[in-house]
Amino acid sequence: MRLRLIAYGLLPCLALAAFFMTGCAKLKEGKPIVPVREYEKLLLGKLTADYVGDVNCLKGCHTHDKLALDFKASTMGDQLKESSSGMKIVDCESCHGPASEMMKEIKGLDVNKKDDYEKIVRSHKENLLDYSTLPAGALSLICLKCHTSNATFNIHNWNGSIHATNEVSCSNCHPIHGSSDLIVDPRAVQKLCLDCHVDIRVQFSLPNHHPVREEKIFCTDCHEPHGNSNYKNLREMTVKETCARCHPEKAGPFLFEHADNTENCAMCHSPHGSVNNSLLKLPETFLCKQCHHPHSITSDAIGGKSMSFTRCTDCHSMIHGSDNPGLSGDVDAGGRFTR
């Protein structure tokens, strides 16, 4: 009885398994709508061109040697044909386009002869993808055919990002042939970003600024360069959460909150730089007087005279919030941020 049960149970299972296994094999064979390799052909507009392999690009072309050595030593170059990984995913033509037409044209030419050299250069321009004329979106697609958001997680929101929609391409920030290290060096980031964002450069030149120029923090600590759905592409959902990554003690929660002001630190602080101390948008007391009537203090110690003050935070030193009630000790009166 039990045997028969097992047999009846097992058979459909096996059949199902077999079905799914062949099904999966079929799925694996599935082809993208436009085969990846055809993409460069389409861009190039020469459907007759074909791929000849990177040996052809490198053979006899000494000027490419440093470039090729660097590339081979990189993580991407490690996917070349003869690489240790044996995965042959990337070669010169994956980004520069199929080279057969060009190889035909330049056959027999001598790179050391001036006339020939010019012909070779022209033939490159005419037969390979010309990075100097392609629009930014097309350039990025060359990278994106491999760097899908699954493979490269941080480019999940690239297509809708402010950079993608403003003619910035991957190669603006990632010089493929810059060196063998493709990882962006954080110390190179500020120059990279500030070369385009000239207005932000000015902000970081103000006397009080976040130490980006001093290389203690980086633009990318606060911004995601590939774009995301957060305000100004901040790393976190809100300004407050972004600041709290490094200044958690200012973010609370506190027993006595400064109303909901500290929900947005940028209410009082300029995140990049300011002419005022502590990156304040306005100097004290003007900062506070935007919302408060200034008060004066009358005390016996000063002979019953009242005084006005220039720095509110001399007394209200816990300006971001406090867990202690005001000096009166009256909890119902709320916090006064004096202690």
Judged by CB under 6 A, the chain residues 33 through 52 that form the site for ligand HEC are: none
**Out of 39, 194, 228, 276, which residue is the one contacting ligand HEC (CB under 6 A)?**
194
Distance in Å, CB of 83 to ligand HEC, minimum = 10
Determine which residue in the list 44, 106, 123, 163 makes contact with ligand HEC, applying CB under 6 A.
163
Scanning residues 71 to 110, which ones bind ligand HEC (CB under 6 A)?
A: 71, 75-76, 79, 89-90, 92, 94-96
- For ligand HEC, the closer of residues 9 and 35 by Cβ is 35
From the list 56, 149, 157, 285, which residue makes contact with ligand HEC (rule: CB under 6 A)? 285
Contact between 88 and 126 (Cβ < 8 Å)? no
Yes or no: say if 53 and 39 are a contact pair by the CB < 8 Å rule.
no
Examine residue 220 and tell whether it contacts ligand HEC (CB under 6 A): yes
Sole binder of ligand HEC in the list 57, 99, 106, 120 (CB under 6 A): 57
Q: What is the DSSP string of 290-326?
A: TTS----EE-GGGTT-EE--S-GGGT---TTEESS--
Residue 156 lies near ligand HEC (rule: CB under 6 A): no
Q: Is the Cβ of residue 46 or residue 128 nearer to ligand HEC in the bound state?
A: 128
Instruction: Calculate ∠ Cα 151-189-221, nearest 5°.
Output: 75
Nearer to ligand HEC, 162 or 255 (CB): 162
The CA distance from 100 to 231, in Å, is 47
Question: With binding defined as CB under 6 A, does residue 283 bind ligand HEC?
Answer: no
Examine residue 269 and tell whether it contacts ligand HEC (CB under 6 A). yes
Q: Which is nearer to ligand HEC, 11 or 195 (CB)?
A: 195
Q: Render 17-78 in DSSP notation, one character per residue.
A: HHHHHHHHHHHHH---SS-HHHHHHHHHT-TT-----HHHHHTT-GGGHHHHHHHHHSTTGG
Stretch that binds ligand HEC, among 3-11, 27-35, 111-119, 233-241 (CB under 6 A): 233-241
Q: Which residues of 150-185 are buried (b: 16+ CB within 10 A; e: fewer)?
A: eeeeebbbbeebebbeeebbbbebeebeeeeeeebe
Rounded to 5°, the CA angle 150-156-160 comes to 140
The correct pick among 258, 273, 276, 322 for binding ligand HEC (CB under 6 A) is 258
For the chain, helix, strand, coil in percent to 5 are: 50, 5, 45
- Give me the least distance between CB of 245 and ligand HEC, in Å please: 5
CA distance 92 to 103: 14
Nearest residue (CB) to ligand HEC, 106 versus 192: 192
Q: What sign results for the dihedral spanned by CA atoms 175, 180, 184, 185?
A: negative
- Asked whether position 159 contacts ligand HEC by CB under 6 A, the answer is no
- Shortest gap between Cβ of 89 and ligand HEC (angstroms)? 5
Q: What is the footprint of ligand HEC within residues 108-147 (CB under 6 A)?
A: 131, 140, 142-147
Task: Report, in Å, the least distance between residue 5 CB and ligand HEC.
Answer: 49
Q: Does residue 216 bind ligand HEC (CB under 6 A)?
A: yes
Count of residues touching ligand HEC (by CB under 6 A) = 119
Q: 37: which residues sit within 8 A by CB, 6+ positions away?
A: 51, 98
